[in-house]
Amino acid sequence: MNNKHVTSLKLSKKLEAIGVPQESEFYWHEREDIEGGYELEYGENHSARISAYLSSELGELLPVFVVIPHHNEDITEYRIKAFPDVKKGTQEYDDLIMEWGWISTSKNTDGDYTCSISQEDADFYHHDITESTKPEAEGKMVEYLVAQGLITF
Protein backbone atom coordinates (compact mmCIF):
# COMPACT_ATOMS: atom_id res chain seq x y z
CA MET A 1 0.00 0.00 0.00
CA ASN A 2 1.11 3.52 -0.76
CA ASN A 3 1.72 5.46 2.49
CA LYS A 4 -0.14 8.51 1.14
CA HIS A 5 -3.42 6.70 1.90
CA VAL A 6 -2.81 6.64 5.67
CA THR A 7 -1.58 8.98 8.39
CA SER A 8 2.18 9.24 8.74
CA LEU A 9 3.94 7.40 11.55
CA LYS A 10 4.70 10.73 13.26
CA LEU A 11 1.05 11.87 13.22
CA SER A 12 -0.20 8.37 14.11
CA LYS A 13 1.96 8.44 17.25
CA LYS A 14 0.55 11.86 18.20
CA LEU A 15 -3.04 10.64 17.72
CA GLU A 16 -2.33 7.59 19.88
CA ALA A 17 -0.80 9.81 22.59
CA ILE A 18 -3.90 12.04 22.80
CA GLY A 19 -6.23 9.07 23.19
CA VAL A 20 -7.65 8.57 19.70
CA PRO A 21 -9.02 5.00 19.55
CA GLN A 22 -6.53 2.56 18.04
CA GLU A 23 -8.97 0.99 15.61
CA SER A 24 -8.04 1.00 11.93
CA GLU A 25 -7.56 -1.27 8.94
CA PHE A 26 -3.83 -0.51 8.77
CA TYR A 27 -1.20 -0.22 11.48
CA TRP A 28 2.37 0.91 11.91
CA HIS A 29 4.05 -2.24 13.26
CA GLU A 30 7.28 -1.77 15.19
CA ARG A 31 10.10 -3.91 13.82
CA GLU A 32 13.75 -3.83 14.77
CA ASP A 33 14.90 -5.58 11.60
CA ILE A 34 13.93 -2.82 9.13
CA GLU A 35 15.15 0.71 8.47
CA GLY A 36 13.01 3.28 10.27
CA GLY A 37 11.80 0.69 12.77
CA TYR A 38 8.18 0.56 11.55
CA GLU A 39 6.34 -1.14 8.72
CA LEU A 40 2.83 -0.49 7.44
CA GLU A 41 0.66 -3.59 7.85
CA TYR A 42 -2.95 -4.63 7.39
CA GLY A 43 -4.68 -6.56 10.12
CA GLU A 44 -5.61 -6.84 13.73
CA ASN A 45 -4.07 -4.46 16.25
CA HIS A 46 -1.94 -5.48 19.19
CA SER A 47 0.25 -3.55 21.61
CA ALA A 48 3.24 -3.17 19.24
CA ARG A 49 1.13 -1.48 16.55
CA ILE A 50 -0.09 2.09 16.10
CA SER A 51 -3.15 2.91 14.01
CA ALA A 52 -2.40 4.27 10.53
CA TYR A 53 -5.74 5.90 9.71
CA LEU A 54 -7.36 5.96 6.30
CA SER A 55 -9.27 9.10 5.33
CA SER A 56 -12.53 7.15 5.59
CA GLU A 57 -11.69 6.22 9.21
CA LEU A 58 -10.82 9.81 10.08
CA GLY A 59 -14.13 10.86 8.54
CA GLU A 60 -15.83 8.68 11.16
CA LEU A 61 -13.81 10.36 13.95
CA LEU A 62 -14.39 13.93 12.76
CA PRO A 63 -17.74 15.46 13.66
CA VAL A 64 -19.74 17.27 10.99
CA PHE A 65 -20.16 20.25 13.34
CA VAL A 66 -18.35 21.54 16.42
CA VAL A 67 -19.43 24.18 18.92
CA ILE A 68 -17.10 27.18 18.78
CA PRO A 69 -17.00 29.87 21.47
CA HIS A 70 -17.26 33.42 20.18
CA HIS A 71 -13.84 34.93 19.65
CA ASN A 72 -15.17 38.47 19.48
CA GLU A 73 -15.86 39.75 23.00
CA ASP A 74 -17.88 42.71 21.67
CA ILE A 75 -20.39 40.37 20.03
CA THR A 76 -20.61 38.17 23.11
CA GLU A 77 -21.22 41.26 25.28
CA TYR A 78 -23.81 42.54 22.77
CA ARG A 79 -25.69 39.24 22.83
CA ILE A 80 -25.68 39.12 26.63
CA LYS A 81 -27.04 42.70 26.83
CA ALA A 82 -29.65 41.96 24.16
CA PHE A 83 -30.99 39.05 26.23
CA PRO A 84 -30.74 40.21 29.87
CA ASP A 85 -33.12 37.51 31.15
CA VAL A 86 -30.74 34.72 30.13
CA LYS A 87 -28.87 33.57 33.22
CA LYS A 88 -25.19 32.59 33.20
CA GLY A 89 -24.68 28.88 33.82
CA THR A 90 -27.77 27.80 31.89
CA GLN A 91 -27.96 25.95 28.58
CA GLU A 92 -29.70 28.97 27.09
CA TYR A 93 -26.73 31.16 28.08
CA ASP A 94 -24.25 28.67 26.61
CA ASP A 95 -26.26 28.61 23.36
CA LEU A 96 -26.22 32.40 23.30
CA ILE A 97 -22.43 32.71 23.43
CA MET A 98 -21.58 29.71 21.21
CA GLU A 99 -21.78 29.11 17.49
CA TRP A 100 -21.65 26.02 15.30
CA GLY A 101 -18.76 25.49 12.90
CA TRP A 102 -18.80 22.88 10.17
CA ILE A 103 -15.86 20.70 9.16
CA SER A 104 -15.03 19.95 5.55
CA THR A 105 -12.12 18.70 3.46
CA SER A 106 -11.34 19.78 -0.08
CA LYS A 107 -8.63 19.16 -2.65
CA ASN A 108 -6.84 22.32 -3.73
CA THR A 109 -5.82 23.17 -7.28
CA ASP A 110 -2.18 22.49 -6.36
CA GLY A 111 -3.07 18.94 -5.29
CA ASP A 112 -2.89 19.52 -1.53
CA TYR A 113 -5.83 18.91 0.79
CA THR A 114 -7.34 21.42 3.21
CA CYS A 115 -9.44 20.38 6.19
CA SER A 116 -11.36 23.39 7.54
CA ILE A 117 -13.62 24.52 10.34
CA SER A 118 -15.84 27.30 9.06
CA GLN A 119 -18.37 29.46 10.85
CA GLU A 120 -19.80 32.50 9.17
CA ASP A 121 -21.68 34.95 11.32
CA ALA A 122 -21.02 38.41 12.64
CA ASP A 123 -18.30 36.61 14.62
CA PHE A 124 -16.49 34.85 11.76
CA TYR A 125 -14.28 31.89 12.70
CA HIS A 126 -12.17 29.84 10.31
CA HIS A 127 -9.34 27.38 10.84
CA ASP A 128 -7.54 25.57 7.99
CA ILE A 129 -5.03 22.73 7.98
CA THR A 130 -3.40 22.04 4.63
CA GLU A 131 -1.27 18.98 3.93
CA SER A 132 -0.12 17.00 0.90
CA THR A 133 -2.42 14.05 1.72
CA LYS A 134 -6.04 13.89 2.82
CA PRO A 135 -5.40 11.59 5.81
CA GLU A 136 -2.67 13.91 7.08
CA ALA A 137 -4.89 17.02 6.85
CA GLU A 138 -7.83 15.27 8.54
CA GLY A 139 -5.61 13.62 11.17
CA LYS A 140 -4.12 16.99 12.09
CA MET A 141 -7.65 18.41 12.35
CA VAL A 142 -8.52 15.62 14.83
CA GLU A 143 -5.37 16.55 16.78
CA TYR A 144 -6.34 20.26 16.70
CA LEU A 145 -9.92 19.61 17.82
CA VAL A 146 -8.75 17.50 20.76
CA ALA A 147 -6.16 20.15 21.76
CA GLN A 148 -8.88 22.85 21.66
CA GLY A 149 -11.24 20.72 23.75
CA LEU A 150 -13.79 20.63 20.92
CA ILE A 151 -13.88 16.81 20.76
CA THR A 152 -12.86 14.05 23.17
CA PHE A 153 -12.36 10.30 22.97
**Count, residues in the chain:** 153
Return the pLDDT at 119. 75
Return the pLDDT at 122. 44
**φ, ψ dihedrals at 96, nearest 5°:** -65, -40
Of the two residues 8 and 38, the one the predictor is more confident about is: 8
Provide the H-helix boundaries in 7-69. 9-17, 55-61
Looking at the domain assignment, is residue 131 inside a domain?
yes
Mean of per-residue pLDDT scores for the chain: 85
Looking at the domain assignment, is residue 25 inside a domain?
yes
Cα torsion for 63, 148, 141, 136, to the nearest 10°? -140
Structurally, how many domains does the chain consist of?
1
Domain that holds residue 55: 3-147
Q: Are 6 and 135 in contact (CB under 8 A)?
A: yes
Mean local confidence (pLDDT), 81-101:
78
Looking at the domain assignment, is residue 90 inside a domain?
yes
| Whole-prediction pTM | 0.80
